[in-house]
Structure 1
């Protein structure tokens, strides 16, 4: 009798965004999207600055760690991510209904991002690390709540 193998769900496939694949965009939209940064965002800088001013000495690794955390504290085995609400699927079940153009591409892209976030969380947790994830709007609107959550791990 063979032991049961765990079911491994296939990863969400994301089509390449191109006109050949049926995805169209205006030049202005294309320019706007090219200006969106994945590192050095305002919420990320806000959190980093507040932590530094409070004496938390973190690293922004030159060689990226798995999943590219925004902040890492190796001494405490803590990684921190500041996730954009759109890109990482905040309130996804409601928000995905609002996507009107290129739905096939954007829904697959964001669902793959969400899937990758879980993979990254599981990776760090399996190594005994703590993963904190903050939404960009939480950092902008409730910075001190986020700071207190980080400080809870130093006690």
Structure 2
């Protein structure tokens, strides 16, 4: 996919977007610690480099931004008006890559949890329900 020229303002705005250490990632890390769950961050040896993972218990968590991963039905998953074709292709490619990585992890026996940026208020309940009900180690 060929990148198209952008305005300096757009380029500067996009450069300020964080990839790691986002607010939502910090919240997930806090919740995992509160639950007493052990994890590693940004595990590069696993498909898709999950944001959080436990190889022993075979689970992986991806913390996805609603815009970049184009969360279906989410108000944050907008398509910019300029360069629309580029963005639609980019979002589609991101979603295909995400699906491939999730499928590979599941084939390797991992449970995969996806936390969306817009789920900030429901993270604790979601993680507690998924991790504690499956006997994930807590210490």
TM score, norm. by length of structure 1: 0.77
Moved over 3 A (4+): 61-64, 92-99
- CA distance in structure 2 between the aligned counterparts of 1:42 and 1:17, rounded to whole angstroms: 28
Q: Is the 8 A contact 2:60 2:112 kept in 1?
A: yes
Secondary structure at 2:40 match in 1: coil
- CA distance in structure 2 between the aligned counterparts of 1:45 and 1:94, rounded to whole angstroms: 22
Q: Is the 8 A contact 1:69 1:80 kept in 2?
A: yes
Whether 2:120 is the aligned partner of 1:144: answer no
- CA distance in structure 2 between the aligned counterparts of 1:145 and 1:94, rounded to whole angstroms: 22
- CA distance in structure 2 between the aligned counterparts of 1:126 and 1:49, rounded to whole angstroms: 29
For 1:134, the equivalent position in structure 2 comes to 115
**Residue of structure 2 aligned with 1:73, choices 51, 54, 70:** 54
Distance 1:78 1:62, change over 3 A: closer
Q: Is the 8 A contact 1:71 1:81 kept in 2?
A: yes
Which is higher, the Rg of structure 1 or of structure 2? 1
- CA distance in structure 1 between the aligned counterparts of 2:104 and 2:26, rounded to whole angstroms: 25
- CA distance in structure 1 between the aligned counterparts of 2:23 and 2:78, rounded to whole angstroms: 27
TM score, norm. by length of structure 2: 0.85
**What does 1:75-94 align with in structure 2 at a 5 Å threshold?**
75-91=56-72
Whether 2:16 is the aligned partner of 1:16: answer no
Q: Alpha-carbon deviation of 1:61? A: 4.9
- CA distance in structure 1 between the aligned counterparts of 2:44 and 2:75, rounded to whole angstroms: 37
Gaps of 5+ in 2: none
Gaps of 5+ in 1: 1-14, 20-24
Deviation larger for 62-71 or 89-98: 89-98
Q: Is the 8 A contact 1:96 1:107 kept in 2?
A: no
- CA distance in structure 2 between the aligned counterparts of 1:136 and 1:95, rounded to whole angstroms: 9
